[in-house]
């Protein structure tokens, strides 16, 4: 089908929710209503804006835009409304299975869906044909009918065949956890690079599924608009699939080229930071662990912060200082999730490599979560995939204000080096700052030098990386007494003056 069919629907139908490229955030909507450009309004703090964005993204009803390119395919297939969740529980305890489905519910809600019902089935492995067993699939059909759901979300990654066959039984759209996560990322991507990365991941996921979706859906819905449940169920015809596939392939090639260019720019930036030798600290961890809250808490902590943004870097990289004045960068990163779709890990590789490239990882974990150990393990698995396993890791147990003391104690035993904080109350933040300072390169070299004026670069580096005790401008150059890291001390060696 093409988009003209799509647009036959009343674009202001309240149930019509469009996302990502088509989503207009609240401030823009207001501005449009007021007939003015949002950019001319007072722009609040960037973090605040993004937060508002995120809330605004939950559901934006009644906004519809002409679709321009191939991404229409997966947006159409992922427009979730009323969903039923289904999980196959192969190992672990009932509690693990429940936690997993609770997480799936949170993911679905983040994507903007309303969760009507959830069920798990205990099996040694997912059914190769329909994911859940045949009997359960029929039961699922009944649940779908009883609740009036329009989508089933499976807690795993399904093969194209499983998706198709389960769809045939339940008679509504079936998507898997991977597609759901991709959808959330698509909603949240803000930067040009982020958007390109997500789109590439979505297309990678979509390509092998294109045929399956098309066949099953066009058979079900007769390829006709309006029949059997509307938008999500109208599949492209065979010829359209061929065209789509070609367009998707060329779109992917283009995205890869663009991303490669952006990665080069990023490398240059990173090199610049490297040569300045400002250590980089990356805040990483499971999604919703409180990474951004912690960044705000840390960079709002007076002495630690020089609330300066690197305008040319990713906006979430901030410059900070330890209590004894050493500069470092602190960056917020994309959250991880259990079984992070490998398409996303691939697409976000260059972003994730920032983590691998850092001097220290603050691995934030939600201490109030029922199973923080599982989250730690999932995140470490991704660290392994992106080559970040050798970076020193400081475990930060967050949300101690809301945590169960018994679980907390258990976690403490498993992670004896961990620092416990609450980004909300500020408890433990001082200890965390001290631990960061401890882990960063030390200023244990005292130098007394006179640096000739033509070596202003060295003086700048002492300012940047060291702690200055005295500075005087003399006839021969800048006389400095300072504490600096070892590498810089080596370079200053030639300018050492005798202490009188």
Question: Using CB distances below 5 to 8 A depending on partner kind, what does residue 401 bind out of Mg ion, ligand GTP, none?
Answer: ligand GTP
SS3 418: coil
Question: H helices then E strands: how many in the chain?
Answer: 19, 14
**Residue 294 to residues 197, 264, 315, 355, 456, Cα–Cα distance (Å):** 26, 29, 16, 17, 36
Q: Minimum distance from CB of 181 to ligand GTP (Å)?
A: 12
Of the pair 76, 399, the CB lying nearest ligand GTP is at: 399
Of the pair 336, 383, the CB lying nearest Mg ion is at: 336
Question: Using CB distances below 5 to 8 A depending on partner kind, what does residue 293 bind out of ligand GTP, Mg ion, none?
Answer: ligand GTP
Q: Minimum distance from CB of 50 to Mg ion (Å)?
A: 9
DSSP code at position 453:
G
DSSP code at position 399:
-
Q: Minimum distance from CB of 105 to ligand GTP (Å)?
A: 16
**Residue 223 to residues 13, 215, 216, 240, Cα–Cα distance (Å):** 22, 9, 10, 11
Q: Minimum distance from CB of 332 to ligand GTP (Å)?
A: 7
What does the buried/exposed string (b/e) look like for 250-271 if buried means 16 or more CB atoms within 10 Å of the residue's CB? ebbeebeebbeebeeebeebee
Residue nearest to Mg ion (CB): 292
Q: How far apart are CA 460 and CA 253, in angstroms?
A: 43
The region of 2-10, 130-138, 225-233, 290-298 touching Mg ion under the rule CB under 5 A is 290-298
Of the pair 130, 296, the CB lying nearest ligand GTP is at: 296
Of the pair 255, 397, the CB lying nearest ligand GTP is at: 397
CB burial of residue 105 (10 Å; 0-12, 13-18, 19+): middle
Rg (CA), the chain: 27
Of the pair 121, 292, the CB lying nearest ligand GTP is at: 292
Q: Minimum distance from CB of 289 to ligand GTP (Å)?
A: 4
Q: Which contiguous run of DSSP H or E holds residue 129?
A: none
Contacts with ligand GTP, residue ranges (CB under 6 A): 287-293, 335, 398-399, 401-402, 422-424
Tokens 């960079």 sit at which residue?
A: 299
Of the pair 77, 292, the CB lying nearest ligand GTP is at: 292
Of the pair 187, 288, the CB lying nearest ligand GTP is at: 288
Q: Minimum distance from CB of 217 to ligand GTP (Å)?
A: 32
Q: How far apart are CA 168 and CA 445, in angstroms?
A: 71
Q: Where are the alpha helices (DSSP H) in 300-428?
A: 342-347, 349-356, 372-385, 405-414
Of the pair 77, 287, the CB lying nearest ligand GTP is at: 287
Question: Using CB distances below 5 to 8 A depending on partner kind, what does residue 399 bind out of ligand GTP, Mg ion, none?
Answer: ligand GTP
Of the pair 423, 462, the CB lying nearest Mg ion is at: 423
Q: How many CB atoms lie within 10 A of CB 83?
A: 28
Of the pair 423, 462, the CB lying nearest ligand GTP is at: 423
The region of 13-21, 22-30, 181-189, 288-296 touching Mg ion under the rule CB under 5 A is 288-296
Sign of the dihedral through C-alpha 75, 77, 83, 85: negative
Tokens of 42: 């007072």
Rounded to 10 deg, the angle between the 94-110 and 177-188 helix axes is 40
Of the pair 273, 291, the CB lying nearest Mg ion is at: 291
Q: How many residues bind Mg ion (CB under 5 A)?
A: 2
Stretch 342-371: interaction string toward Mg ion, x if CB under 5 A: ------------------------------
User: What order of strands is seen across the sheet that includes strand 393-398?
Assistant: 305-309, 317-321, 327-332, 280-285, 360-366, 393-398, 419-420
Q: Minimum distance from CB of 333 to ligand GTP (Å)?
A: 8
Residue nearest to ligand GTP (CB): 335
The region of 38-46, 176-184, 286-294, 368-376 touching Mg ion under the rule CB under 5 A is 286-294
Select the residue interacting with Mg ion from 130, 178, 204, 292 (CB under 5 A).
292
Tokens of 413: 């035993």
Q: Where are the alpha helices (DSSP H) in 152-237?
A: 160-170, 177-188, 192-206, 210-221
Question: Using CB distances below 5 to 8 A depending on partner kind, what does residue 287 bind out of ligand GTP, Mg ion, none?
Answer: ligand GTP
Q: Determine, following the binding rule CB under 5 A, whether residue 162 of this chain makes contact with Mg ion.
A: no
Question: Using CB distances below 5 to 8 A depending on partner kind, what does residue 424 bind out of ligand GTP, Mg ion, none?
Answer: ligand GTP
Q: Minimum distance from CB of 395 to ligand GTP (Å)?
A: 14
Question: Using CB distances below 5 to 8 A depending on partner kind, what does residue 322 bind out of ligand GTP, Mg ion, none?
Answer: none
Binding site for Mg ion (CB under 5 A): 291-292
């Amino acid at each position: 089908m093409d988009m003209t069919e799509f647009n036959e629907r009343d674009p202001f139908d309240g149930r019509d929710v469009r996302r990502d490229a088509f989503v207009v955030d609240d401030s823009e909507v207001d501005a449009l209503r007021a007939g003015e450009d949002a950019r001319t309004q007072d722009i609040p703090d960037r973090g605040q804006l993004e937060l508002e964005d995120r809330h605004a993204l939950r559901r934006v009803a009644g906004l519809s835009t002409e679709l321009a390119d191939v991404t229409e395919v997966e947006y159409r297939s992922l427009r979730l409304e009323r969903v039923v969740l289904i999980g196959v529980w192969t190992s672990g305890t009932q509690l693990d299975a429940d936690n997993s489905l609770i997480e799936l519910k949170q993911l679905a809600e983040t994507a903007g869906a309303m969760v009507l019902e959830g069920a798990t089935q205990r099996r040694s492995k997912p059914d190769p044909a329909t994911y859940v067993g045949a009997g359960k699939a029929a039961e699922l059909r009944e649940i779908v009918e009883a609740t009036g759901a329009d989508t089933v979300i499976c807690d795993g990654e399904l093969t194209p065949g499983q998706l198709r066959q389960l769809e045939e039984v339940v008679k509504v759209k079936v998507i898997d956890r991977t597609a759901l996560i991709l959808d959330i990322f698509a909603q949240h991507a803000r930067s040009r690079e982020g958007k390109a990365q997500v789109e590439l991941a979505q297309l990678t996921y979509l390509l092998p599924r294109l045929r399956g979706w098309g066949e099953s859906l066009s058979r079900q819905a007769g390829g006709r608009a309006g029949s059997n449940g509307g938008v999500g169920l109208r599949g492209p015809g065979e010829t359209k699939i061929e065209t789509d596939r070609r367009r998707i392939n060329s779109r992917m090639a283009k995205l890869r080229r663009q991303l490669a260019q952006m990665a080069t720019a990023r490398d240059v930036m990173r090199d610049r930071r490297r040569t300045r030798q400002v250590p980089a600290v990356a805040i990483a961890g499971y999604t919703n662990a409180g990474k951004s809250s912690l960044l705000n808490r840390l960079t709002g902590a007076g002495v630690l912060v020089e609330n300066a943004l690197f305008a040319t870097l990713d906006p979430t990289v901030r410059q900070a200082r330890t209590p004894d004045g050493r500069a470092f960068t602190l960056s917020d990163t994309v959250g991880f999730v259990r079984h992070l779709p490998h398409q996303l890990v691939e697409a976000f590789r260059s972003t994730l490599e920032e983590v691998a490239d850092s001097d220290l990882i603050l691995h934030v974990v939600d201490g109030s979560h029922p199973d923080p150990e599982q989250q730690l393990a999932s995140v470490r698995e991704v660290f392994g995939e992106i080559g970040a396993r050798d970076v020193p890791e400081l475990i930060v147990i967050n949300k101690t204000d809301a945590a169960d003391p018994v679980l907390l104690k258990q976690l403490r035993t498993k992670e004896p080096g961990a620092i416990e904080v609450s980004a909300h109350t500020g408890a433990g933040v001082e200890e965390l700052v001290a631990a960061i300072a401890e882990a960063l390169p030390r200023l244990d070299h005292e130098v007394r030098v006179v640096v000739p004026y033509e070596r202003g670069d060295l003086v700048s580096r002492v300012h940047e990386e060291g702690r200055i005790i005295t500075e005087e401008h003399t006839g021969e150059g800048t006389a400095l007494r300072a504490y600096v890291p070892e590498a810089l001390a080596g370079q200053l060696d030639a300018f050492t003056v005798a202490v009188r």
